[in-house]
Amino acid sequence: MINSSASQTRIWFITGCSKGLGRALAETVLERGETVVLTARNLQQIEDLVTKFPNRTLAVQLDVTKPKEIQEAVKQAIAKFGRIDVLVNNAGYGVLGAIEEVSNEEVRRQFETNFFGVLEVLRNVLPQMRQQRSGHILNISSVGGFVSYAGTGIYNGAKFAIEGISEALAQEVTPLGIKITIVEPGAFRTNFVTRSLVITDSEINDYESVIGEMRQGARDILDMKLEFLEPGDPKKAALAMIQVVDSENPPLRLLLGEDAIYAINAKLEAVKTELDAWREVSLNTAFDEVLVTK
C-alpha cells in the first residue's frame, strides 16, 4: 500500500546533492512538491535548485567527514522546518585498486566518507526522528555492498559496513516508528567514473592479470573523457526510492537495476551451494553430547 497523505508535507535531508543519484533524487522530490534540505560540499553546484524552488529548499554546506558541519546542517534543518521526515545518506565515492595496493591513507579516507560520514549523519538525525516517533532513513549502498569484486575491495568493505549497521539499526528503531531501507544500485548513468572514482597510484604487477583491464578502462574514460553508457536511468532510480518512502511497508533492501538483481541472486545461490556442500563439516563442531537437530 502507498501512503500518499504525507507525501506533500515531508522534509527530506539528502547528502551529496550536487551530482549523481543524490542530485536526481533531490530534483524529483522537489518537482513533486516536497521540501528538501540540499547539502553539498560546494553550494554553487546546487544554486539552480534553490533558485527554482526557493520556498521549499534549504542549502547547507556539508562535508560528511566533518562532524561539526554535520551537527550544524541538522541543526539548521530542524530550526527552519521543525522536523526531518526522510534522511538519504548518499554522499560517497569509490576507490579502485587491489587490497594490497591501496594506501592506508586512502583506506581511511574511503571509510571516513563512505562509512563514518553516514554513521555520523544518521546519529545526528536519529534524536529528532525518535522525538517525532516517525521517519525513514535511506542508506545508499551499492550492489558492491552485497557482492565484492577484485579491484574494489576497499569500497566494498565500506559499503558492507553500511549494510551491517543498517540491518541492526532497523531492528532497533522499527518499534520507534522509524523505517530503514538499504538502497543497492547497480550501474547508473551518473558519471561515477569521471567524478567519483579514485584510482590508486600504487600498482603491483602480480595483480595486473586480475584488475589491470578494469583499471585501464577507468583511466581511458578519465583521460579521454569518454561517455560511459551505464544502463541505469537516475530519474527512474529516484522514482523507485520515492515509491519506497511512500510505502507503508517498505523493504529493508531496495535493489536498483537488472545488473544488481543478477549479481546478488548469483551470490545468494553460490552461498547456498557452498553452505550445503560443507554442511556436515559445519555441524560436526559441537561437543559429542550435544544433539544437533537442524
Measured from the Cβ of residue 216, the count of other Cβ atoms closer than 10 Å reads: 13
Distances (CA, A) of 226 to 112, 215, 223, 230, 275: 29, 15, 8, 12, 42
The active-site residue, picked from 18, 19, 142, 159, is 159
Q: Which three cell numbers stand for residue 33?
A: 512538491
d(CA 23, CA 16): 7
Does 93 qualify as catalytic in the annotation? no
State the Cα angle at 256 between 254 and 257, rounded to 5°: 145
Q: Which three cell numbers stand for residue 240?
A: 523507485
d(CA 12, CA 106): 31
Please state the length of the chain: 294
The active-site residue, picked from 18, 19, 141, 166, is 141
CA 15, 20, 24, 25 dihedral sign is negative
Does 159 qualify as catalytic in the annotation? yes
Does 52 qualify as catalytic in the annotation? no
d(CA 209, CA 219): 16
The active-site residue, picked from 18, 142, 155, 166, is 155
d(CA 167, CA 60): 29
d(CA 58, CA 180): 24
Nearest to 12, CA basis, from 63, 68, 80, 71: 80
Q: Please list the active-site residues.
A: 141, 155, 159
